[in-house]
Structure 1
Amino acid sequence: MFSGFRRKMKWHFTPIALLLGLASLPVAAQDVGLAGLLGSKAMLMINGGEPQAVRVGESVDGVKLISIQGDQAIVEVGGKKRPLRIGQHAIGASPGDGSGKIVLTADGQGHFITTGTVNGTSVRFLVDTGATMISLGASDARRIGLDPNRGEKGVTNTANGQTVVSRVKLDTVRIGDVTLHGIDATIHQTEMPFALLGMSFLNRMEMQRDGSTMTLKKRF
């Protein structure tokens, strides 16, 4: 089984050095969670980061704390006000019009980066048409609750040499207005600054590139 899986693996992984260079770039959407309330401050977790104290009226990484009302914090994310209770998350998703389209804008280096969810957990994606499947780093997999030991094992080559990966199936992947089910993915045992949005997702979309804009439309 192991060797057979390995023969099928024709994946391309963006070099780790490139990914590290992208780590500080802005994302197309924000995920914010409420970890706790401290008087006029809310402990916010932004894009899966550690909780940080944010005062009412203060903005951090594009997320603004509007007010604290009882056991709720009212935040502005993605241009919309969202009420949050402790333990809840809100996502300012990529703009959508309900038509099953995703519109992405390239950064200064021509890369398309966005935020979506995997099995309901926020994940930062780098669009990679050379990756056969969605690829997740170890930290993202742990946050999502995926166990790599239950997947089919294989080995692939990266810029830092060979690494062990596990093939799994994701229940849901959502970006903007588009939700797909039963998507093949691989989990790396190493860290990755971004998950790779590979062809196991993109093959189910119509892709159009117009300058710095990429439009993805759900096919099935």
Structure 2
Amino acid sequence: MLRAMLALTLSLCAAAAQAAPQVRVVGLFPNAAVVNIDGQRKFIRVGETGPQGVQLVSADSHKAVLRVDGVESSYELSREYNAAGYSAPRPAPELGIARGAGGHYWVSGAINGQTAQFLIDTGATTVAMNEEQARRLGIDYRVAGKPMVASTASGTVKGWRINLNSVKLGGIEVLGVEASVLEGEFPTEILLGMSFLNRVGWREDQDIMHIQSKQ
């Protein structure tokens, strides 16, 4: 009788572990996260419950705390877990960016190891910045750059074509990225253009831009 009860208990535990949802955090924001639950992607805010009863307890730019089957656990970006404690192989780094004010995508990152704030612009050919931004980042564009002329909404302006050592967003880093430094105050924000985006995988889905490393 004891053996039968023990076998039944082990069988139920195994079934519960097998049925546990597989959870992967693919986007992190203040008080919100994009969570992949058994292959279903969902944007969840703190306090909300997603598929399979998974609830977001807290979230910031570094991690999310999820309640799965009544157990709270911390999840880093793009790491897959299940309630049995299994960690799947880490996929290529991926970043989810929520659409912000004015319908634009803003994201923090780094250029040549220096902190930078980007406005994602799929209409820009290269990463583009003004002279003041380049000086703040320590870029000697007048020496290292090649003179050019760029067309803007205000007309043509002088500029310099340069090559950035690296552009990094979260865990995604691209080396040797073409960029432009424009004379004057335009653009007012550093534009993350196609010279970077063509080197990564990206797509828009339900007001979230997903960027994934190809390297």
Fold match, TM over 0.5? Answer: yes
Q: Of the candidates 136, 141, 144, which is equivalent to residue 143 of structure 1?
A: 136
| Distance across 2 between alignment mates of 1:96 and 1:164 | 41
Q: Of the candidates 148, 151, 156, which is equivalent to residue 150 of structure 2?
A: 156
Query: Are the aligned partners of 1:96 and 1:177 in contact in 2 as well (CA < 8 Å)?
Result: no
| Distance across 1 between alignment mates of 2:189 and 2:181 | 12
- Whether 1:204 aligns to 2:199 is yes
- Whether 1:120 aligns to 2:113 is yes
| Distance across 2 between alignment mates of 1:96 and 1:194 | 27
| 1:103 aligned residue | 96
| 1:179 aligned residue | 173
Query: Are the aligned partners of 2:202 and 2:211 in contact in 1 as well (CA < 8 Å)?
Result: yes
| Distance across 2 between alignment mates of 1:79 and 1:173 | 19
Instruction: Give me the TM-score of the superposition, normalised by structure 2.
Output: 0.56
Measure how far apart 1:193 and its partner are. Answer: 2.3
What SS does structure 2 have at the residue aligned with 1:109?
helix
| Distance across 2 between alignment mates of 1:126 and 1:132 | 13
Q: How does 1:1-220 map to 2 (within 5 A)?
A: 78=61, 96-97=77-78, 99-150=92-143, 151-191=145-185, 192-220=187-215
What percent of counterpart residues are identical? 31
Instruction: Give me the TM-score of the superposition, normalised by structure 1.
Output: 0.55
| Distance across 2 between alignment mates of 1:104 and 1:146 | 27
Measure how far apart 1:154 and its partner are. Answer: 0.7
| Distance across 1 between alignment mates of 2:160 and 2:115 | 20
What SS does structure 1 have at the residue aligned with 2:179?
strand
Query: Are the aligned partners of 1:116 and 1:124 in contact in 2 as well (CA < 8 Å)?
Result: yes
| 2:5 aligned residue | none
Query: Closer, same or farther in 2 for the Cα pair 1:160/1:184, shift >3 Å?
Result: same
| Distance across 1 between alignment mates of 2:111 and 2:153 | 26
Instruction: Specify every segment of 5 or more residues in structure 2 that has no aligned partner in the other structure, as ranges.
Output: 1-28, 31-59, 64-75, 79-89
Query: Are the aligned partners of 1:96 and 1:176 in contact in 2 as well (CA < 8 Å)?
Result: no
| Distance across 2 between alignment mates of 1:198 and 1:96 | 24
Query: Are the aligned partners of 1:96 and 1:103 in contact in 2 as well (CA < 8 Å)?
Result: no
Structure with the largest fraction of helix: 2
| Distance across 1 between alignment mates of 2:132 and 2:115 | 12
What SS does structure 2 have at the residue aligned with 1:155?
strand
State the aligned residue count: 132
Measure how far apart 1:109 and its partner are. Answer: 2.2
What SS does structure 2 have at the residue aligned with 1:172?
strand
Q: Which runs of 4+ in 1 moved over 6 A?
A: none
